[in-house]
Amino acid sequence: MNGLSRVALAAAAALFGSAAQAAPATGLTVAQVLERSPAKDWRPLDPQNTLLMDLGADGSRQVIIELAPRFAPQHAANIRTLAHEGYWNGLAINRVQDNYVTQWGDPNAETPDKAKPLGKALPKLPAEFSVPLKGLPLVRLRDADGWAAITGFVDGMPVAANPKTGQAWLAHCYGIVGAGRDMARDSSNGTELYTVIGQSPRGLDLNITVVGRVLQGMQHLAALPRGSAEMGFYGPDETRLQIQRVRLLADVAEDERPALEVLRTDSATWPALLDARRVRKEDWFVHSPRHIGLCNATVPVRPRAAAQVERPSK
Amino acid sequence: MNGLSRVALAAAAALFGSAAQAAPATGLTVAQVLERSPAKDWRPLDPQNTLLMDLGADGSRQVIIELAPRFAPQHAANIRTLAHEGYWNGLAINRVQDNYVTQWGDPNAETPDKAKPLGKALPKLPAEFSVPLKGLPLVRLRDADGWAAITGFVDGMPVAANPKTGQAWLAHCYGIVGAGRDMARDSSNGTELYTVIGQSPRGLDLNITVVGRVLQGMQHLAALPRGSAEMGFYGPDETRLQIQRVRLLADVAEDERPALEVLRTDSATWPALLDARRVRKEDWFVHSPRHIGLCNATVPVRPRAAAQVERPSK
């Protein structure tokens, strides 16, 4: 009875970097690794590759998405244009399928005379399922992954690769953002996007163009009512959540931009953080996995202010 | 843009067995494997090990949970007693942490004079983190898993094992149900339960007692508003969703019991289903993973009526 509810799983939350716990003599907890990280191990949001999606009319329920132009350059460019021109403003969340995806875009996309015009964005793009592994600044993850021979991170994005084909691709982890397509490989243009809201469906890898990941605000997409029609689409009698607006960060006044920073996966803090997740030093844990999964190795995002508060010298 | 929204990801939904697709000359789709499965490959709900949790006052939003007495016999017995005595009736969802867990029980558990009495249930139980691998009717999964040397299924539950220690345990996959604990290993008694609502946090394995899995109704636990307090607990100004009642299926009149059946993981259909997920025969897929993850290998549950509709001979 007493204590079970609050403290239960308490230190376990440190898996996601939210709980500070006392550490034994050796090793560091996740919280300690983050506390000790130098300011240079964090980077600001990239105005040209960050989208702000407002689901609430008052600017609340904001979802922040980072694009991955290194992996899907033509989709990223088209999405930039679409956001710049306000394409998604007033469109809607069309689909929420439990343990799978939340998807948004134009509910009338299939009705030619009702579909929203694309403006300067291109109606057709090539498939961008993978890129050459060679030359990619991949920070390898040493842990085994059943889905791919090589895994790691590039620019904070989870990446898988196959040395036999020489190709690398963004992995379908929780919060990854992809471009919905029809039967044809090249039938996505970035207007219809989805994000993963459950166990990572890695079986989608190499089947669809992945365009980025949600940096913050996943709860606003993951906690939505599931659609009752096939595949989680909303039926005619269900209310779709309207998207208030989606803006490219570059189009937002500097003093209105979210003051966030992202841990660099090419920093010294990143491998230290992974080690702290492999071997748990928080008191609650009685067993350490000595392993981290690609899709469990979430890259931290935090308020930028935290970096500006310098610790006293010690 | 025609077709992008509805059909996008359409066949991909077959990952979860919901979409029928045309198959090429060789191999079967997921839907075809399920259509062709004989009735004997499915089993009914077990009245002594199934809980019905009603979140809606009218019996709507029902969550069906199957207990795993083989892995946590004392917790399962205590939970049976608690359900039989109506312990959870009127209690609440206390915590929803995005990409982690939804947790329920007594919001006043920590306040001795306000905590709900446990009746005939035991206030203290031993930790039941693992069981001997030897003798376990494990249906092995041949696919590599970074977290454990051996994985597979027992009674439809995802299991991991370590041949060096000789121990096996239920894996923290989406929909698994565990018993919250405090700092002491043996501080859970089954009153406070949680389920995984995001990417599987396998780092919790061997750290806590797992008691079963959600068979149906996960969306009612996964789509709830996230709590704003630390670790996703609801704060004082947030409304907790009340649990209307939790009943043991054996205590429910037979004609009120959900008419569901679960695919037997010791059937011939199960490996065929896994093969259909490893090598995709649905038209939408252009690449097959040739792999299935332990936590992606969801065990199907379907209306029992489906089995009673015999296919015409063909």
CA distance B277 to B14: 9
A99-151 tens-digit pLDDT: 999 999 999 998 989 999 999 999 999 999 999 999 999 999 999 999 999 99
- Count CA atoms closer than 13 A to B302's CA, side-chain side: 21
Minimum distance, in Å, between the CA of residue A251 and any CA atom of chain B:
25
Q: If you average pLDDT over residues A177-203, what whole number do you get?
A: 98
- Helix boundaries (H) for chain A: 4-7, 30-36, 73-84, 218-222, 269-278, 305-308
pLDDT digits (tens, 9 = 90+) for A287-301: 999 999 999 999 999
Question: Of the candidates A78, A69, A68, A181, which has an alpha carbon nearest to the alpha carbon of residue A120?
Answer: A78
Residue B270 amino acid letter: W
Place of tokens 């454990």: B148
Q: Which of B117, B255, B2 is nearest to A182 (CA)?
A: B2
Q: Is the pLDDT at A221 greater than 90, yes or no?
A: yes
Reply yes or no on whether the pLDDT at B187 is more than 90. yes
Report the pLDDT value the prediction gives residue A112, as an integer from 0 to 100: 87
Looking at the complex, report in whole angstroms how far the Cα of residue A256 sits from the nearest Cα belonging to chain B: 23
pLDDT of residue A308 exceeding 70: no
ipTM, 2 dp: 0.91
**Which of A6, A7, A9 is most worth mutating to test chain B (most B CB atoms within 10 A of its CB)?**
A9
In this complex, do A110 and B2 lie within 8 Å of one another by their Cβ atoms? yes
The pLDDT score that the predictor gives to residue B112 is 87
pLDDT at A22: 37
- Asked if B231 and A199 come within 8 Å (Cβ–Cβ), the reply is no
Q: What DSSP designation does B233 have? A: B
* CB-based burial, A21-48: b 16+ in 10 Å, e otherwise: bebeeeebbbbbbbeebeeebbeebeee
Question: To the nearest whole percent, how much of chain A has pLDDT over 90?
Answer: 87
- Nearest residue on chain A to B182, judged by CA atoms? A8
Please indicate whether, in this complex, the C-beta atoms of A1 and B199 are within 8 angstroms of each other: no
Structure tokens at B50: 């199934």
Note the pLDDT tens digit of each residue in B6-65: 434 443 333 333 333 333 335 899 999 999 999 999 999 999 999 999 999 998 999 999
Mean pLDDT confidence for B152-177: 98
Determine the pLDDT at residue A118: 97
pLDDT in tens, B146-162: 999 999 999 999 999 99
Q: Are B34 and B26 in contact (CB under 8 A)?
A: no
User: Contact A139/A159 with Cβ under 8 angstroms?
Assistant: no
For the entire predicted model, the pTM comes to: 0.91
Beta-carbon contacts of residue B184 (< 8 Å; ≥ 6 apart): none
Res B59: pLDDT: 86
Average pLDDT estimate for B83-91: 98
What distance in Å separates the CA atoms of residue B230 and residue A19, rounded to the nearest whole number? 8
* Residue whose C-alpha is closest to residue B82's, from B121, B36, B48: B121
User: Any idea what DSSP says for residue A16?
Assistant: G
| DSSP classification of residue A4 | H
Of A261, A88, A112, A109, which is closest to residue A177 (Cα–Cα)?
Answer: A88
Contact residues, chain B, for A100 at CB < 8 Å:
13, 15-16
What's the pLDDT at A17? 34
CA–chain centroid gap for B297, Å, is 12
* Cβ–Cβ under 8 Å, residues A269 and A32: no
Tell if the CB–CB gap between A4 and B188 is shorter than 8 Å: yes
Average pLDDT of the segment spanning A161-175: 98
